[in-house]
């Protein structure tokens, strides 16, 4: 089997278009640096990208459904309309990222940071938000119904999560 490199992924995306690239189910941890990569619409579902650096990456419309992304960095990445449904996303850095209309339904986001991120119109229903940092995040229009949070969760000033349908869970 061919060992993928960042260069091979980028070259293939130029030939067929990033939206036709699928990295589904692959273990990509060895790639380490994916910062500033441009792969809109790429499929990462069930892939293992734990610890990878996607800082400032352009991934609009990408699919990370059921992916393992623990401890990955998406700082200042463009993640509009990205799907993270049921992803294992503990301790992920989303600081300053554009997550407009991103989908995090049933995603484990414990101890992740969205400080200063744009989460406008994002969907976090039934997500695990215990210990997450949302300070200074834009959460206008965000859906939090059924999401679990705890006393360690940090919210933007003025937000009372209980009023959005989120559930306090200090266990």
pLDDT at 65 over 90: yes
What is the CATH number for 17?
2.160.20.80
pLDDT digits (tens, 9 = 90+) for 8-41: 999 999 999 999 999 999 999 999 899 999 999 9
pLDDT at site 2: 75
Strand locations in the chain, DSSP E? Answer: 148-149, 167-168
Q: How many domains does the chain have?
A: 1
Compute φ and ψ for 112, nearest 5 degrees: -85, 165
Give CA angle at 157 (100, 112), nearest 5°.
55
Return the ∠ at Cα 55 (arms to 49 and 60), rounded to 5°: 80
Mean pLDDT of 73-91: 98
Give the range of the structural domain holding residue 149, as residue numbers without chain letter.
1-171
Q: What is the pLDDT of residues 123-154, one digit of tens each?
A: 999 999 999 999 999 999 999 999 999 999 99
**What is the token pair recorded at 54?**
């996607």
Q: How far apart are CA 31 and CA 17, in angstroms?
A: 20
What pLDDT, on a 0 to 100 scale, did the predictor assign at position 1?
60
Q: Beta partners for 38?
A: 58
């Amino acid at each position: 089997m061919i060992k993928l490199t960042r260069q091979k992924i980028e070259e293939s995306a130029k030939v067929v278009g990033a939206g036709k690239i699928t990295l589904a189910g692959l273990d990509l941890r060895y790639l380490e640096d994916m910062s500033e990569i441009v792969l809109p619409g790429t499929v990462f579902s069930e892939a293992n990208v734990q610890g990878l650096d996607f800082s400032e990456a352009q991934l609009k419309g990408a699919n990370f459904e059921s992916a393992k992304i623990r401890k990955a960095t998406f700082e200042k990445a463009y993640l509009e309309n990205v799907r993270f449904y049921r992803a294992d996303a503990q301790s992920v850095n989303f600081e300053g990222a554009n997550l407009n209309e991103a989908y995090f339904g049933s995603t484990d986001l414990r101890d992740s940071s969205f400080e200063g991120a744009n989460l406008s119109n994002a969907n976090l229903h039934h997500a695990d938000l215990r210990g997450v940092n949302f300070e200074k995040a834009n959460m206008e229009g965000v859906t939090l119904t059924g999401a679990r949070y705890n006393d360690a969760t940090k919210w933007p000033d003025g937000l009372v999560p209980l009023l959005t349908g989120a559930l306090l869970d200090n266990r």
